[in-house]
Every structure is written in C-alpha cells, then in structure tokens.
Homo-oligomer: A and B are copies of this chain.
Amino acid sequence: MQTLNIFTNEPDSLPKGKADFLLAASVTRTCEIEGITQAGIPGKIPLTPTLDAEFITNEKVFSMPELAETPKGVPTPALITRAVHNLTPYSSIEVLNLGLDVIPQNTPLLNFNISPSDSIASGAGIDARAVFEKGMIAGKNYELKGNYLILAESTPSGTTTAATTALALGYDCRDDFSSSFLDSPDSIKEKTIDAALLLINDEMNNFEKLSLVSDNMLIFCAGFLLEASRRFHVILAGGTQMAACLLVADALKEDVLMRVKSENITLATTSWVVNDKDSDIKHILSHLSYAPHAIYTSFSFADAEIEVLKLYDKGEAKEGAGAGGALAYANANGITNRELLEKIELLIYGM
C-alpha cells in the first residue's frame, strides 16, 4: 500500500500517532428514492448508517441479522474500517447521530436532537443554521483522546445530496460526484438534483438553500470541522461527499466570521474514488479558497479469496464509513495490503 497526494501523486501520509475515529451517521429520505443508491439492503437503506455504526464499534450488528451489502453482494466499506481497528486500534470509536431512523445498540452515540432529513426532491426540511451551530458546539467541545481525529460518514444517497449542495452554493461541479454504483444511475440522480434545485432561488442565503437541498451530515460536519480544526488535526475520511463538506465550510465560514485553518485539515479517500472515471474529486476540491491537503491510499482486493470483494477494484462501493481514512491510517501504522486483506476476509468468514 502507498499513500499519495491526490494532486501530485507524490508519497504523502497522515500525521503520526493514534487517531480518534468519529462516524457521522445520517439518514436523508432522499435515499428512499428507488434506484438512487445501492448502499444497503434494498427496502432498508435507512438502516445502513445504523449497521455501519454497530459494526465498526462491535465487529457485529445488533439491529439486523446481516451486515449491509449492495445487491451484487459487495459488503459495506465499514469492513475495511473495522479491520484496520483490529490491526492498529483507533484511540476511540464514537458515532454522531445526525438523524438516524434506528438507534445503534451498544455503540457510543453522540446525540444532538437531529432528525432524519426529508428528500431533497421536495425539500429537506433542515434548520441548517441550527444544525451548523450544533456542529460548531460539538467541534468546540470534543475532547481528543489520541493525537488527531478521523471524521468519517455513513449517509446513503449522500453523493446526490452532496452534488446538489455544491451546485446550490454556486460551485461549478455538476458532473464531479461519485456514486456507490459502478455504473452510476445518472438519470435518477439527475432528476433528483434538478427537482431539488428548482426549490431554491438567488434571493435565498446559504443557510436557506442548505435547509432545502442538503443533508445533516454535510452541514453538521462543516461546522464541526471549522471549530475542531482550530485545536487539532482533522482527517475528513471520505470521497466526493467529504469534498462537498469542505465546500460547505468554505462557503459558510464568512457567515460565522471564521477562517478555515486548512493546515489542520486533510481529506483522505480511496484510490477507487480518485481513479473513478464518472467523478472528479480533484475538480471539486479546486473550488476551495485554499489549496487543500488531500490524499488517497492504494489498496487492492486483487488477491482476495472472496471473489465479491474484487468488485471494489472494478469500482463498486468505492468509499464510505471512513474506508479511505482507515486505509491511510493503516498505512501510516505500517500495516500491509496483505495483512489488511486477510483481516477483512477473516471478518467476513466470521459473520
């Protein structure tokens, strides 16, 4: 495995030491639009963040007999995130409840009185200012246990809400967003994005726009990031969704009279996102007011015994539940591709 800079392809890495792992788990009803995502069990997509949270924390799930997987049988990237913990533990694992349908069991959950948001196709119904402020308060109060923080997300259909969010804020990145599908369901996503954008207009301020077309994860994490990165290094573990989160923070920083302490922020994703032909994370990041630090870690399932895992290398699933950040953390701590692959397969055999 190698960790490389997204822009230069030069060797790069995470900070030294141990990291806290924080999963922003959120449901947007957008995920219930037929065919918009494959991040979960068909008909039970809103359970995915709950199951991811339980699995990363406990190595097992309590709220369903089985772990979420795509219809082709590709298991959630939470497997990667948990396997890394077994090889080189995070200093802590906690979950942000940013609107969950089902409360994860036996899982340290931070609550903020946030409900699942509605489908952006008809208006998300978020109080964006309140959610952003809750994120700032949480970021200000968060007590770091290790040396730095990995902030990850589990938000099914989150690439659709992320794309809409970026467009609503005026960023030119229509075709830049990824998907959990190998063959991205463009027409359903496009229709949803178009319907959402019809709900906003130029008279609205940023918070009003986000209240209609964004998701709680993006808004909360943007506020969290602005405050937390003043005190310690924050790794945004994710692909195009976390890139959109950076755009949100950049757009809202002036509303709260803050600057982005970009030297304390790193985006860490997978090679599957960086190499994706259907999206362009570099182009999304190019809209930031600063040169962001962004890395990806090569890891391959080429030698997997469990055939279905090889679909990752073809572009299924790609990212989520902190997989990209976890890979970079593993690499920084000397874990090899082979060790990690074996641990992941062990987890699957054990299920």
How many angstroms between the C-alpha atoms of A99 and B145 in the bound complex?
27
Q: Which residues of B contact A92 (CB under 8 A)?
A: 92, 145
A147 within 8 A of B: no
Instruction: Give A76 Cβ to nearest chain B Cβ, in Å.
Output: 19
Docked complex Cα distance between A62 and B312 (Å) = 43
A94 contacts B108, C-beta separation under 8 Å? yes
User: Of B109, B112, B145, which is within 8 A of A145 by CB?
Assistant: B145
Residues of chain B lying within 8 A (CB to CB) of residue A58: 141
Interface residues of A in 86-128 (CB under 8 A from B): 89, 91-94, 103-113
With A and B bound together, what is the CA distance between A138 and B141 in angstroms? 26
Interface residue total, chain A, C-beta cutoff 8 A:
22
The answer, yes or no, to whether A137 is at the interface (CB within 8 Å) is yes
Q: Please report which residues of chain A, range 36-88, place their CB below 8 angstroms from some CB of chain B when the two chains form the complex.
A: 58
Residues of chain A from 120 to 157 with CB closer than 8 A to chain B in the complex: 137-138, 141, 143, 145
Given contacts A108-B108, A110-B109, A91 and B145 within 8 Å (CB-CB): yes
> Of residues A94, A107, A109, A112, which shows the largest number of chain B Cβ atoms within 10 Å of its Cβ?
A109
**What residues of chain A have their CB less than 8 Å away from a CB belonging to chain B?**
58, 89, 91-94, 103-113, 137-138, 141, 143, 145
